[in-house]
Amino acid sequence: MRRESLILGGIGAVTLIIVVVAAVLLSGPQSQSKNSTSKVTDMALLYGPEAERESTGTPSAKVTIVEFGDFQCPACGAVYPIVKKIKADYKDKIYFVFRNFPLPQHKNGAVSAEAAYAAGLQGKFWEMHDLLYGSQVEWGEKPEAQAKSLITGYGQTIGLDMDKFNESVSNNAGNTKIQKDQNDGYALGVDSTPTFFINGEKFAGVLSYDQFKKLIDDRLK
């Protein structure tokens, strides 16, 4: 009987140790998901300066979407038609802001961001935005000089004053604004593209139309 008690006691002790160790491990630091449920409350940091903001929709809308994107990023190119449909379907029910986040591994990311900025100076940011994403396969992986030539052609396509456009791109006139977008992105924890903030909540990566729709509809209730 004593021997059985000792065996049972030993088993109980081992079990207790396992439970304690498991509890310690579970209470330790957990790896965080890329999509955090924490909410950004600093709207100035999230949206950027109003005077330089590229946005569509209604600023007072119940749902706001901010995208940090890279025009050369294949994932951004893949999600572009989905985002375009979302913007068309929800129109004034959402407020959409685009911010530049060219990644260092994309050799044409910076020049394409400069081109979009230069087009924006002439009131045609979104036209250039759409052409860059829609034609990404044509210029994205080309040598920089060739990509720049193709992008210059897009400026002609959308009817820009080409002298002003070329001067802006050549002088890197958008560098300060683009760097501001990137710095704000880093401060918000952006480390990949595309990254979306929906009502201040971060969602990294490509979202399907249905995922966007659910996230928006839930917030419109």
pLDDT in tens, the chain (221 residues): 444 444 444 444 444 333 333 333 333 333 333 575 578 989 999 999 999 999 999 999 999 999 999 999 999 999 999 999 999 999 999 999 999 999 999 999 999 999 999 999 999 999 999 999 999 999 999 999 999 999 999 999 999 999 999 999 999 999 999 999 999 999 999 999 999 999 999 999 999 999 999 999 999 99
Rounded Cα distance, 58 and 92, in Å = 5
Using CA atoms of 204, 207, 210, 216 in order, give the dihedral in degrees to the nearest 10.
Answer: 40
Is there a contact between 154 and 115 (Cβ–Cβ < 8 Å)?
yes
Residues 6+ apart with CB under 8 A from 176: none
pTM, to two decimals? 0.83
Rounded Cα distance, 92 and 81, in Å = 18
CB-side neighbour CA atoms (13 Å) of 204 = 14
List the strands of the sheet with 94-100, edge to edge. Answer: 54-57, 94-100, 63-69, 195-198, 201-204
Sort 92 into a burial class: Cβ within 10 Å, 0-12 / 13-18 / 19+: exposed
Q: Which residue do the tokens 């992008």 mark?
A: 151
Closest of 130, 65, 129, 75 to residue 106, by C-alpha: 75
Q: Specify the DSSP element, H or E, that contains 126.
A: helix 125-134
Rounded Cα distance, 141 and 133, in Å = 13
